[in-house]
């Protein structure tokens, strides 16, 4: 007796279609419920049964039983934040496709990126299509459209390294505003897309033969950091795209340690004969770190007033007072300031800090991709209010690779 696997699959698919298209019976919600947040809430573990909005549901929370959630922006803050995320999703879609077509199969193979891995990257591009659709739907007909981009890598290694850092800052950019969105419903869906992004970032690190996640916590960044980082790569956007509100800070460059040495080479080192030292792997324990705590880090930075971004229609700006005094290292849960010595009009040096996340831990705060800005003062800040640093930034952020 013959058995057709394909036929049974098709039958299953047809069955699933019928099930899915069956009319769902609407559920009656009993209401929104909840009680106002209590800033002096006593965290004892006891709960009050007489204020529960539904069975097995504790009082409080931000509309967890909302009968008709609004998956759309509810303020300028929401719109501009979601729009920023959409700019990044379009960029990633373009970046993955560009990288896949820019290099030949032979070049990918030589870098240890075989057909299976290339398909993984191709699938990442397809995921971006879904993210673009999601955010465009939330923003409506005036949502920004795709732009034209430029890239400055010229090897498979450079492509992977750029894509890895780019997915990291997109992810971090969203973590920075997600919890501040007025539309909790939109935040819900965006979180579900950005966690996919986080997986892409991890896989890209593995394709580079890097340790997959060298941190305990992923960093969150203010929106203007993410906009400053992506803008230099956006050449032009359609005229219908509205201007975005976020700031472009003056560019900051890490002069030393150099990102390309024989051992580090933009996280993707090769032996002199061209063989990659760390081929793609689930996890790699590197004996030669990219950079070390305590080492001197030299920066150069640009003066404000430079045209940048789509159609060079944005101008870099700073509202900091005078010369930078500190380097602010933003990584994991921490904002760490180190004194900056000026060595020229637009150059200075500091030390890579050696700080631990918690006193008793072995985890260095500065590990993986950190973000460095130069500031005029050392404002004590934490992840939830980090954007207060913006008005003190002289230049940055720069993406700093360590570990």
Least Cβ distance, residue 5 to ligand NAG (angstroms): 42
Site map (CB under 6 A) of ligand NAG, residues 238-277, x = contact:
xx--------------------xxx--x--x-xxxx-x--
Q: Does 355 bind ligand NAG (CB under 6 A)?
A: yes
Site map (CB under 6 A) of ligand NAG, residues 148-187, x = contact:
-------x-xx-----------------------------
Pairwise CA distance, residues 190 & 71, whole Å: 10
Least Cβ distance, residue 125 to ligand NAG (angstroms): 22
Beta bridge partners of 398: 372
Pick the closest to residue 147 from 64, 81, 235 (CA basis): 235
Q: Does 381 bind ligand NAG (CB under 6 A)?
A: no
Q: Does 236 bind ligand NAG (CB under 6 A)?
A: yes
Q: Does 27 bind ligand NAG (CB under 6 A)?
A: no
Beta bridge partners of 171: none
Pairwise CA distance, residues 316 & 162, whole Å: 22
Provide CB contacts within 8 A for 189, sequence distance 6+. 71, 134, 138
Q: Does 315 bind ligand NAG (CB under 6 A)?
A: yes
Bridging pattern class, strands 252-256 and 296-301: antiparallel
Check if the beta carbon of residue 367 is closer than 8 Å to that of residue 205. Answer: no
Q: Does 334 bind ligand NAG (CB under 6 A)?
A: yes
Closest CB to ligand NAG among residues 53, 157 = 157
Check if the beta carbon of residue 72 is closer than 8 Å to that of residue 183. Answer: yes
Pairwise CA distance, residues 124 & 325, whole Å: 41
Q: Does 282 bind ligand NAG (CB under 6 A)?
A: no
Pairwise CA distance, residues 398 & 257, whole Å: 13
Least Cβ distance, residue 123 to ligand NAG (angstroms): 24
Binding site for ligand NAG (CB under 6 A): 38, 40-42, 44, 48, 50-51, 155, 157-158, 236-239, 260-262, 265, 268, 270-273, 275, 285, 296, 304-305, 311, 315, 317, 319, 333-334, 341, 344-345, 349-351, 355-358
């Amino acid at each position: 007796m013959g058995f057709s696997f394909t036929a049974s699959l098709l039958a299953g698919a047809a069955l699933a279609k019928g099930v899915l298209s069956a009319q769902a019976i609407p559920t009656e919600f009993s209401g929104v419920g909840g009680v106002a947040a209590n800033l002096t809430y006593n965290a004892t573990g006891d709960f009050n049964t007489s204020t529960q909005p539904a069975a097995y549901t504790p009082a409080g929370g931000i509309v967890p039983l909302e009968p008709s959630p609004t998956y759309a922006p509810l303020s300028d803050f929401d719109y501009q934040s979601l729009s920023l995320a959409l700019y990044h999703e379009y960029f990633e879609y373009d970046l993955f496709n560009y990288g896949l077509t820019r290099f030949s199969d032979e070049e990918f193979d030589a870098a240890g990126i075989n057909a299976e891995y290339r398909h993984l990257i191709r699938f990442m591009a397809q995921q971006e299509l879904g993210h673009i659709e999601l955010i465009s739907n939330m923003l409506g007909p005036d949502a920004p459209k795709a732009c034209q981009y430029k890239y400055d890598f010229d090897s498979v290694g450079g492509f992977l390294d750029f894509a890895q850092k780019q997915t990291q800052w997109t992810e971090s950019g969203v973590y920075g505003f997600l919890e501040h969105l007025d539309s909790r419903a939109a935040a819900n869906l965006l979180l579900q897309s950005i966690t996919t992004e986080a997986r892409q970032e991890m896989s890209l690190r593995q394709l580079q033969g890097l340790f997959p996640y060298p941190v305990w916590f992923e960093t969150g960044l203010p929106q203007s950091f993410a906009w400053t980082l992506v803008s230099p790569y956006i050449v032009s956007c359609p005229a219908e795209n509205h201007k975005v509100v976020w700031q472009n800070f003056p560019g900051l460059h890490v002069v030393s340690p150099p990102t390309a040495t024989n051992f580090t080479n933009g996280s993707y080192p090769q032996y002199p004969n061209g063989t990659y030292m760390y081929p793609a792997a689930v996890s790699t324990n590197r004996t030669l770190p990219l950079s070390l705590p305590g080492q001197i880090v030299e920066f150069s930075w640009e003066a404000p007033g430079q045209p940048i971004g789509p159609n060079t229609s944005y101008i870099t700006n700073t509202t900091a007072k005078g010369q930078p005094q500190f380097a602010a290292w933003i990584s994991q849960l921490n904002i760490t300031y180190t004194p900056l010595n000026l060595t020229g009009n637009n150059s200075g040096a500091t030390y890579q800090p050696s700080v631990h996340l918690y006193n008793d831990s072995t985890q260095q705060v500065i590990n993986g991709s950190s973000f460095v800005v130069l500031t005029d003062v050392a404002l004590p800040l934490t992840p939830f209010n980090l954007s207060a640093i913006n008005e003190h930034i002289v230049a940055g952020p720069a993406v700093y690779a360590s570990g």
